Amino acid sequence: MPAAEPDVLDVVVVGAGFSGLYLLHRLREQGLTVQVLESAEGLGGTWYWNRYPGARCDVDAVEYGFSFSKELDDTWEWDERFATQGRILEYLNHVADTFDLRRDIRFGTRVAAATWDDDSARWTVRTEAGDVYRARYTIMATGCLSVPKQPDIPGLDSFAGPVYFTSSWPHREIDFTGRRVGVIGTGSSAVQAIPLIAAQAAHLTVFQRTPNWVVPAHNRELTDADRTAEVLAGRRRSGLDCPLGLAHEFSEANLAEAKNLSPEDRRAELERLWERGGLTMILAFADLLIDQEAGRTAAAFVAEKIRARVHDPATAEKLIPSGYPFGAKRLCVDTNYFEAYNRDTVDLVDLRATPIETITPHGLRLSDGEVEFDDLVMATGFDAMTGALTAVDIRGRGRVALADKWSDGPRTYLGLSVAGFPNLFTMTGPGSPSVLSNMRVSIEQHVDWIAACIRYLDERGMRSIEASPAAEEDWVRHVAEVGEPTVFSQGNSWYVGANVPGKPRVFMPYIGGVPLYRETCADVAAQGYRGFQLTPA
Ligand code: N01
């Protein structure tokens, strides 16, 4: 039952990244009218904004590309194991060309508010420019890491030189040749950017508050053998069986608890995964994210690798994380990160020993004096998972604001739906595997689920669907219960909102893993959308 009124769309989608693009294609195929609203002047979401030197996806490119279209497989070739930001953006533009998506995307359009009207069962979506769209459904495809964290260091405005945020890098090449550069932050973005900036700059000072566990990428050129249809299909199948949504051949060690393995077997497995490169290091042992001893084994192994790569022992010790378990913060994946510190022109400042007092016109004043530089790079992260959702004034039944409902932390059913907010879907929202998985896998699953859900409702003439308060309550409890015993509750990470001052501390993603979560969502649908309230027209 697509909308009968000409001025009412079936669906407004907010965001034109991976999620928004596939939603548009899939829902349009289903005969629905869809308008995508995108704040940027181009498509790509995170890959539009994060153009800092060295930006790449640390999921294997052949697994990161969409899996839903043979036409895409036949017309696109990834060149490297880990694709650059530029290549991914080219890919997404190719996707848009292939399915003629741009005609239904309005760029340069930031959504300010979305309000549900119960009488008409319609969403009114307002843009910052004052344009209004009415739709039966609103789908937030706004990304999990898209709202930069507000700078929380005093004096930023006083800095005399250029300031670059990794999360909104200029659309031109920045040449650091001959410059003295300061980088604040040592998360994934900084770990990728630092080796390239270090290679160019006259001098680089890295300001590190918390060292991260960093594992190697072992990036390489792909060959034809890496890209055959058979390989692609095999990797995609394997990804669906893996909790992280990543292709992985599980060894005996991966399925065993570390304490049941000999030290030699543990070491051999860690070496194997280290040599393989990438995020699957976290799968080394079945209890790696639960058992402290298992975590310590992995930590000791990686610490040894850091000591071997960094020439100056004092610098190496500063780069080795302490005080939180392996995996509690998102692993970083590197190419030449530690080697950057072997350059005479690179210094590492440990902010735990000498905290920042203020940014000054010429650098940073620390507790023990001032460090000067010409250019400042802020690699300080994002208001993750909820930031982009609460940035829009979303009001559900009774005009309740989503930001108010979530004042103590996000509450969803399946990470997809919120009680009191009918016909609103949150793509890869809090309470779904999202950032703990290959995002492409989770995005495709959510798009397919939402599309099937709308079809089901339309076939039965339903006017609305929303999570029941009881199902939401149960799901929130379940997400917390499975997260609580893991290492994730022990790090000051963005997973728990600890990086944003004042943000409620809640472990936001669902750690149940991709296969179990998919099965749960499929069961819910098969049982007539169990846990949802469906309202007939
Ligand atoms: O951000 P982060 P990111 N004073 O939050 C520091 C994904 N991603 O942009 O840890 C001093 O990880 C902060 O220190 P601390 C990926 O999921 C993917 O790097 O809060 N320092 C930390 O070191 C990733 O996890 C890819 O003590 C301050 C850094 O800034 C996520 O995005 C590439 C500070 C922020 O690190 C976010 O990564 C890039 C302050 N006031 C990102 N405030 C790929 O797929 C913050 N920091 C490759």
Q: How far is CA 324 from the centre of its chain?
A: 21
Q: How confident is the model at residue 1, as a pLDDT? A: 56
Does the beta carbon of 49 lie inside 6 Å of ligand 1?
no
Distance 485 CA to ligand 1 centre (A): 24
Best mutation site among 89, 165, 209 for ligand 1 pocket (most ligand atoms within 8 Å of CB): 209
Does the beta carbon of 379 lie inside 6 Å of ligand 1?
yes
In sequence order, the 6+-apart residues with CB closer than 8 A to the CB of 223 are: none
In sequence order, the 6+-apart residues with CB closer than 8 A to the CB of 177 are: 200, 201, 202
In sequence order, the 6+-apart residues with CB closer than 8 A to the CB of 452 are: 525
Q: Which residues of 410-439 are buried (b: 16+ CB within 10 A; e: fewer)?
A: bbbbbbbbbbbbbbbbbbbbbbbbbbbbbb
* pLDDT of 3 higher than 80: no
Does the beta carbon of 214 lie inside 6 Å of ligand 1?
no
Which atom, in ligand 1's list, is nearest to the CA of 166? 9
How much is the average pLDDT of 56-68?
97
DSSP string, 243-304: TTSS-----TGGGS-GGGS-HHHHHHHHHHHHHH-SGGGGGSSTTTTT-HHHHHHHHHHHHH
Distance 257 CA to ligand 1 centre (A): 30
> How far does the chain reach from its first CA to its final CA, in angstroms?
10
Distance 498 CA to ligand 1 centre (A): 12
Distance 117 CA to ligand 1 centre (A): 39
Q: How far is CA 132 from the centre of its chain?
A: 29
User: DSSP 3-state helix, strand, coil percentages of the chain (rounded to 5)?
Assistant: 40, 20, 40
CA neighbor of 391 nearest in space, from 91, 129, 113, 34: 113
Does the beta carbon of 210 lie inside 6 Å of ligand 1?
yes
* pLDDT of 117 higher than 90: yes
State the pLDDT confidence band at 209, using cuts at 50, 70 and 90: very high
Distance 189 CA to ligand 1 centre (A): 6
Cα–Cα dist 243/438, whole Å:
10
pLDDT digits (tens, 9 = 90+) for 233-289: 999 999 999 999 999 999 999 999 999 999 999 999 999 999 999 999 999 999 999
CA neighbor of 197 nearest in space, from 219, 178, 217, 216: 178
Best mutation site among 51, 156, 189, 440 for ligand 1 pocket (most ligand atoms within 8 Å of CB): 189
pLDDT digits (tens, 9 = 90+) for 435-480: 999 999 999 999 999 999 999 999 999 999 999 999 999 999 999 9
Eight-class DSSP state of 60: -
pLDDT digits (tens, 9 = 90+) for 381-430: 999 999 999 999 999 999 999 999 999 999 999 999 999 999 999 999 99
**Hey, whose CA ends up nearest to atom 25 of ligand 1?**
330
Distance 11 CA to ligand 1 centre (A): 33
* pLDDT of 379 higher than 70: yes
CA neighbor of 11 nearest in space, from 119, 105, 95, 88: 105
Does the beta carbon of 138 lie inside 6 Å of ligand 1?
no
For residue 366, what is the enclosing H or E element?
A: strand 363-366
* SS3 sequence of 210-231: CCCCEEECCCCECCHHHHCHHH
Q: Which residue has the tokens 């194991």?
A: 81
Which atom, in ligand 1's list, is nearest to the CA of 498? 20
Q: How confident is the model at residue 303, as a pLDDT? A: 98
Distance 107 CA to ligand 1 centre (A): 27
Tokens of 251: 């060894």
How much is the average pLDDT of 25-50?
98
Query: Residue 13 half-sphere exposure, CB side, CA atoms within 13 Å?
Result: 31
Best mutation site among 82, 87, 88, 145 for ligand 1 pocket (most ligand atoms within 8 Å of CB): 145
Q: How far is CA 532 from the centre of its chain?
A: 27
Question: How large is the greatest C-alpha to C-alpha distance in the chain, in angstroms?
Answer: 70
Best mutation site among 499, 500, 505 for ligand 1 pocket (most ligand atoms within 8 Å of CB): 499
pLDDT digits (tens, 9 = 90+) for 81-102: 999 999 999 999 999 999 999 9
How much is the average pLDDT of 165-178?
97
Q: How confident is the model at residue 225, as a pLDDT? A: 97
Does the beta carbon of 82 lie inside 6 Å of ligand 1?
no
Bridge partners of residue 100, in order along the sequence: none
Cα–Cα dist 441/448, whole Å:
11
pLDDT digits (tens, 9 = 90+) for 470-508: 999 999 999 999 999 999 988 899 999 999 999 999 999
Distance 167 CA to ligand 1 centre (A): 10
Tokens of 44: 């790509």
pLDDT digits (tens, 9 = 90+) for 510-536: 999 999 999 999 999 999 999 999 999
* pLDDT of 6 higher than 80: no
Does the beta carbon of 57 lie inside 6 Å of ligand 1?
yes
What is the β-pairing status of strands 356-360 and 363-366? antiparallel
Name the more confident of 66 and 5. 66
Q: How confident is the model at residue 5, as a pLDDT? A: 73
Question: Is the CB of residue 323 less than 8 Å from the CB of residue 290?
Answer: no
Does the beta carbon of 146 lie inside 6 Å of ligand 1?
no
Instruction: Give the count of beta carbons closer than 10 Å to the beta carbon of residue 251.
Output: 15
Does the beta carbon of 187 lie inside 6 Å of ligand 1?
yes
Does the beta carbon of 151 lie inside 6 Å of ligand 1?
no
Instruction: Give the count of beta carbons closer than 10 Å to the beta carbon of residue 536.
Output: 9
Question: Is the CB of residue 251 less than 8 Å from the CB of residue 271?
Answer: no
Cα–Cα dist 357/71, whole Å:
55
Does the beta carbon of 325 lie inside 6 Å of ligand 1?
no
Q: How confident is the model at residue 490, as a pLDDT? A: 87
**Hey, whose CA ends up nearest to atom 12 of ligand 1?**
187
Q: How confident is the model at residue 489, as a pLDDT? A: 85
